[in-house]
């Protein structure tokens, strides 16, 4: 897929593509959009490689250096440090909300392929380790034209590191110990985890002119903690996780390249719940995921390439609730999800400024779980999409991308999703972007058929088979300015009007011996709108900084109130001092999430009451020592202000971390493929 990147960038700039080296990385050269040579390549906004500054659709990139500097061991902790991204943490893990849209409207990809294993409609980002990640790309706003259902709010694409040229080995490890007693109150959990947690990663690879391979292993261990000493319940589960990954590519000739990828993940989680009746429950999760993909990239001449990818993934989640001293409310749920997909994408350069992209997708999803009425459900999905990208060579450059997608769902029929994006390079330093399009999302199996009871919180949830698909019309307007000394300023505004938004609703209040009952309904209309400002700079070779501020406004037009769990204000800031190339480095990060409304029937009168979740302010700091070749050791503290609470924001309490990384030699950096 590295050759795919080289070819598509070449198709946009000239009749002949840039040639790739044996590892798939392209040599720096003049780019077709006027960006600096060697700039980061992105693929998510257009499904074709383009430079980050030249992308028609605004794309946020988290680089490998930024991932290393953050110290995050999983994707949830990494994204929590980004401006405008809201992490929603709960018993089912950590999910991401974008621009006021809920986590089940955000599509999560790994190397362009959908991540399987949605639980309650969303992907748990805390189960995705960062050890083998080369960069993360974030596209905000409706992306259904290119990616179909589940992309109404945006797309997160995780680009993994590719096999290097020649042999390479890299490794890292970090341990964390609590600085407060709350983190050790695990109520006698049988999972053999003490108060110390951590994560580790190792990878080995080798590349040559025709072959390349890379294999990696990541492990993570986190202790449980309790933010409310007044009960025996844990605020977060103890976790132990292991992931194995592998990738092999083969280039039999200059016209084709085959890539095989595989991954396997196993995670155990355990916690303790308590009910108002005094009952205590032990809760256990076992999550297992296996994925495999295979496909070629074929050059069909100097101006055309075809990409074929077949992939499948299997996800299993076992949930056990064991009431201490009784069996009446014991529960066991086994959820299995099988996703199989075949994708074809054709890219053709029609002259030096036009790129035509067209594709077909076919997928089958099958779900087996006790949580569904009937125990099993499956559906077939198919789609055809096309996009035309125009990028003139003469200044001022007005680049455009227009696309259309037709989705077919065996349960809900057809849906058209058009989108148009425009980018104006007003000057060499100022870029203006405008995009707008339709979003589409069919109801999840969870929304339609779920049956779930939570005796610890005294409620039950039932699906609604009469739900309709959601549709959204959204627009994003952004301006980016690039100045001297690495200074970059960005401003983005957005708005979406959603019809048929699926939301939980109280159907009957709790009563004596009867739990409160919830279901899902289509909201007649909901609106999300807001703005985000971000800045980054490197005023000196030894100093850097970045900051972001976002404002969001939402309304449920039927209820006349804001959508639940959406904060009005969020902010992030980070800064660091470092000696170039090697030596000491000091950095700190600050994150703020404003107050947000929650709706619960606390008094049992059948009417939901408004509860305001308090704001949180999180501060991390880290001191590192780096040596030539990429190795480092570090000492840091996380959540220095001890932010969080047991109900609305179960953040891990203040802790001390130590870690080290190294390699022989460091893995060669490569550019992502679509």
Q: Residue 426 belongs to a domain with what CATH number?
A: 2.40.170.20
Side-chain half-sphere of 308: how many Cα atoms within 13 Å? 8
Q: Tell me the CA distances in angstroms from 476 to 85, 435, 570, 655, one per residue in order.
A: 16, 5, 19, 39
Output the pLDDT for position 309. Answer: 94
List b or e across 458-467, with b for residues whose CB sees 16 or more CB atoms inside 10 angstroms.
Answer: ebbbebbeeb
**How remote is the C-alpha of 643 from its chain's centroid?**
23
Output the pLDDT for position 373. Answer: 67
End-to-end CA distance of the chain: 7
User: Maximum distance among all alpha carbons in the chain?
Assistant: 77
pLDDT beneath 70, residues of the chain: 1-38, 90-93, 117-121, 163-164, 180-195, 373, 395-396, 513, 604, 606, 664-674
* CA atoms of 225 and 236, how far apart (whole Å): 6
DSSP conformation class of 45: T
List b or e across 291-311, with b for residues whose CB sees 16 or more CB atoms inside 10 angstroms.
Answer: bebebbbbbeeebbbbbebeb
Beta strands (DSSP E) in 181-279 are 197-207, 211-222, 238-253, 256-274
User: Does 263 map to a domain?
Assistant: yes
Output the pLDDT for position 593. Answer: 93
By DSSP bridging, strand 166-178 and strand 655-663 are antiparallel
* CA atoms of 336 and 366, how far apart (whole Å): 8
Q: How many domains does the chain divide into?
A: 1
User: Does 260 map to a domain?
Assistant: yes
By DSSP bridging, strand 470-482 and strand 304-323 are unpaired
Residue with tokens 């809201």: 86
Distant-in-sequence, close-in-space partners of 367: CB < 8 Å, separation ≥ 6: 335, 336, 337, 338, 376, 377, 378, 445
pTM of the predicted model as reported, rounded to 2 decimal places? 0.84
* CA atoms of 430 and 433, how far apart (whole Å): 10
User: Does 56 map to a domain?
Assistant: yes
User: Does 284 map to a domain?
Assistant: yes
Output the pLDDT for position 537. Answer: 94
| 134-144 pLDDT tens trace | 899 999 988 88
* CA atoms of 10 and 21, how far apart (whole Å): 15
Output the pLDDT for position 13. Answer: 34
Q: Give the phi and the psi of residue 168 in degrees, each rounded to 5.
A: -155, 150
User: Does 674 map to a domain?
Assistant: no
Domain extent for 451: 2-663
Q: Assess contact for 623 and 69: CB atoms under 8 A.
A: no
H helices of 174-323, in order, are: none
* CA atoms of 605 and 598, how far apart (whole Å): 17
State whether residue 466 is helix, strand or coil: coil
Output the pLDDT for position 178. Answer: 78
User: Does 447 map to a domain?
Assistant: yes
| CA-based nearest residue to 595, from 610, 575, 574 | 610
* CA atoms of 443 and 339, how far apart (whole Å): 16
Q: Give the phi and the psi of residue 322 in degrees, each rounded to 5.
A: -120, 110
Instruction: Count Cβ atoms below 10 Å from residue 219 Cβ, excluding itself.
Output: 18
Output the pLDDT for position 231. Answer: 81
* CA atoms of 203 and 131, how far apart (whole Å): 9
User: Does 189 map to a domain?
Assistant: yes
**How remote is the C-alpha of 28 from its chain's centroid?**
29
Q: Tell me the CA distances in angstroms from 551 to 167, 494, 529, 558, one per residue in order.
A: 47, 10, 8, 23
User: Does 672 map to a domain?
Assistant: no
Output the pLDDT for position 38. Answer: 54
* CA atoms of 257 and 197, how far apart (whole Å): 41
């Amino acid at each position: 897929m590295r050759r795919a990147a080289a070819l598509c960038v070449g198709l946009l700039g000239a009749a002949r593509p840039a040639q790739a080296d044996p590892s798939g990385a392209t040599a720096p050269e003049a780019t077709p959009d006027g960006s600096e040579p060697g700039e980061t390549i992105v693929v998510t906004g257009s499904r074709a490689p383009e430079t980050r500054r030249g992308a028609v659709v605004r794309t946020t990139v988290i680089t490998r250096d930024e991932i290393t500097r953050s110290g995050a061991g999983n994707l949830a902790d990494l994204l929590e440090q980004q401006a405008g991204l809201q992490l929603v943490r709960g018993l089912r893990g950590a999910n991401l909300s974008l621009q006021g849209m809920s986590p089940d409207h955000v599509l999560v990809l790994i190397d362009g392929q959908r991540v399987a294993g949605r639980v309650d409609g969303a992907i748990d980002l805390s189960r995705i380790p960062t050890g083998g990640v080369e960069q993360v790309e974030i596209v905000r706003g409706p992306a259904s034209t290119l990616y179909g259902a589940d992309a109404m709010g945006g797309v997160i694409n995780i680009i993994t590191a590719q096999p290097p040229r020649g042999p390479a080995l890299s490794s890292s490890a970090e341990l964390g110990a609590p600085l407060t007693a709350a983190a050790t109150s695990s109520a006698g959990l049988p999972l053999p985890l003490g108060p110390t947690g951590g994560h580790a990663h190792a990878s080995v690879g080798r590349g040559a002119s025709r072959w390349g391979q890379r294999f990696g292993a990541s492990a993570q261990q986190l202790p449980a903690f309790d933010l409310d000493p007044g009960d025996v319940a844990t605020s977060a589960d103890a976790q132990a996780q292991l992931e194995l990954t592998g990738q092999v590519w083969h280039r039999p000739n200059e016209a084709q390249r085959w890539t095989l990828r595989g991954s396997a993940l196993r995670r155990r989680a355990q916690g303790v719940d308590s009910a108002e009746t005094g009952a205590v429950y032990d809760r256990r999760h076992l999550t297992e995921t296996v994925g495999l993909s295979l496909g070629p990239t074929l050059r069909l001449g100097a101006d055309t390439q075809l990409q074929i990818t077949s992939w499948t993934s299997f996800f299993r989640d076992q949930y056990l609730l064991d009431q201490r001293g009784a069996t009446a409310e014991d529960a066991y749920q086994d959820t299995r999800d099988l996703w199989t997909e075949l994708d074809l994408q054709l890219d053709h350069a029609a002259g030096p400024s036009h790129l035509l992209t067209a594709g077909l997708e076919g997928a089958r999803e099958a779900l087996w779980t006790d949580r569904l009425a009937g125990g099993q459900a499956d559906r077939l999905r198919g789609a055809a999409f096309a996009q035309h990208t125009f990028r003139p060579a003469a200044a001022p450059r007005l680049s455009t991308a227009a696309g259309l997608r037709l989705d077919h769902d065996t349960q809900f029929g057809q849906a058209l999703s058009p989108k148009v994006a425009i980018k104006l390079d007003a000057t060499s330093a100022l870029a203006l972007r405008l995009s707008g399009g339709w979003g589409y999302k069919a109801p999840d199996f969870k929304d339609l058929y779920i049956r779930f009871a939570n005796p610890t919180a005294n409620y039950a949830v039932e699906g609604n088979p009469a739900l309709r698909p959601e549709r959204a019309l959204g627009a994003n307007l952004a301006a980016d300015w690039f100045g001297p000394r690495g200074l970059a300023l960005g401003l983005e505004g957005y708005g979406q009007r959603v019809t048929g938004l699926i939301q939980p609703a109280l159907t009957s209040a709790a009563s004596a011996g009867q739990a409160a009952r919830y279901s899902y309904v289509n909201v007649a209309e909901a609106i999300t709108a807001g703005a985000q400002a971000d800045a980054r700079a490197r005023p000196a070779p030894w100093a850097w900084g970045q900051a972001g501020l976002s404002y969001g406004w939402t309304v449920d037009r039927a209820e006349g109130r804001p959508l639940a769990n959406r904060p009005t204000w969020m902010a992030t800031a980070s800064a660091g001092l470092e000696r170039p190339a090697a030596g000491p480095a000091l950095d700190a990060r600050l994150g703020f999430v404003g107050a947000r409304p929650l709706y619960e029937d606390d008094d049992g009168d059948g009417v939901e009451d408004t509860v305001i979740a308090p704001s949180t302010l999180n501060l991390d700091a880290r001191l590192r020592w780096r040596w030539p070749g990429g190795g480092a050791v570090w000492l840091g503290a996380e959540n220095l202000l001890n932010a969080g609470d047991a109900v609305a924001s179960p953040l891990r309490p203040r802790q001390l971390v130590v870690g080290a990384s190294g390699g022989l030699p460091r893995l060669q950096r490569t550019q992502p493929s679509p």
